[in-house]
Structure 1
Amino acid sequence: MSEGPAPDALTGDVRDAFGGLTPEEGMRLLQEGELAVEGRLTAASNATLYCTVSDGARSAACVYKPVAGERPLWDFPDGTLAGREVSAFAVSQALGWSVVPPTMHRDGPFGEGMVQLWVHGDTTVDLVELSRSTDCPGLRRMAVLDAVINNTDRKIGHLLPTTGGHLYGCDHGVSFAEDYKLRTVLWQWQGLPLTEEALTALMRVRRLLADPGSGIAGVLGRHLTGPEQHAVRARVDLLIQHGIHPYPSPDWPAVPWPPV
């Protein structure tokens, strides 16, 4: 994807998060390596498999979510959850912030699905305290990403801080609904002005979405419906126009349950 992160988008050295690999090396490994299922994450509501991906010379841990293991959702009747995860990665890359770990759509042992590099996080971080922070740039970037993709399930457990200082987020399968359904634990900036960094990133996304040949336009075109793609553009336009972080909807629960 041509619109990769800006040179200063990654905070600290993130190779610790991916077993010594850079995000670019990890992405190539996800694309070219062989998937071997090691186990299943039983707490997940859909089939979520812990895997090793290897090309013979290097290996890394990853998550594989096959489309065949998805449960139908009444409010996301079209497309796949795996496709929405890949779309969230495309938006993250277009913003230039690397909020979402390297993610791609490919075939696997149980058919096509989403594969994402496993983040070896910093277990010393108090995630509840982190989720309430108002001075963490990575967390504020995540709040902007969630507003763009209309994330309906940003829980505290989806925060993945690394020992190198960068913050990733996972589980974006229930995103990109046409109707406003933002549901998150990150409401501390509601109504506050967006940062200049955020506005610059959003204007970049708007330009890329208008270019049919851009990476993000191609990914969203493959995995989202036409109305969902239009809704993404509308949300970006509204964020730029008003220049503030959004408020919760009065017609939709503001915080996912359970929040952790």
Structure 2
Amino acid sequence: MTDWKLPAEIQKDTEAFVKLMHSVASIYMYEWFISLDFEWDFLSGKKRFRWPMIFYFLNRYFLLLSLIGIIISFDKIEGLNCQALFTFFQLTGNAAIGLVSINLSIRTMAIWAHNRYIIGGLVLIILGHWSLILQGVQVTTTLVPGVGCQIVQSHSKILPAIFIYSMCFDFIVLSLNTYKLIGITSSPSRNLRGRGRLTHMIFTDGLVFFILAFLSNFVATVFLLLNLNQVMGVIFNVPAAVISTIVACRAVRRLTNFTFNRPEII
């Protein structure tokens, strides 16, 4: 049986961690690049900017900055302040996780036709989520000469709470969407053109997005709770944030493009 606490095993896990982070960062940067036309539509005036888009852009660029910080931390830069760098990209990364839930919640509010009870409940859940996110950095790092930044200790109390909360939050959002969509499908007015198109769009990709976000947080939570060592405990945190951000931002783009063509529906 593998002894995850052995220095040799931790070193091997660190090498795997570095490779995984580069791969995940590449995937996200590719996704970011191929969707820049959406930003251009706002800059060029083709789409009117509305306040919910603030959370979309913050989500995208906070995670982008976080990934850039992670990649920099692997460089062998003499005098690099690893703790400050990790503080930066963990705060932006955690914020991205919170913004994912906000973006998915805004989509849910739209599906529920801005029902005030749904909005009130989701806002309370969002505030609870951010009360955990804003509790700061949960990883201690140091600069190893000739190697780069390495994780010395991962504090395993708040991080699991953040991901478990995110997972439960996503499940609530998924349940609300499923319930509403079933209601729309069984409604006598389901043949209305706008509502039918919205329902079809949600069923074809929306629920898949929510499920992927839920599952990515679930995997990260399992490894956080197992806490095999300081590296394996956090190895899937970034992939979870990237997957969640990609699916949430795609959901926002789909809904925005839909409402741009049919503004009277939402």
With the length of structure 2 as denominator, give the TM-score of the two structures: 0.24
Q: Which has the higher strand share?
A: 1
Q: Which has the higher helix share?
A: 2
Q: State which structure, 1 or 2, has the greater radius of gyration over its C-alpha atoms.
A: 2
* Larger relative contact order, structure 1 or 2 (CA cutoff 8 Å, min sep 6): 2
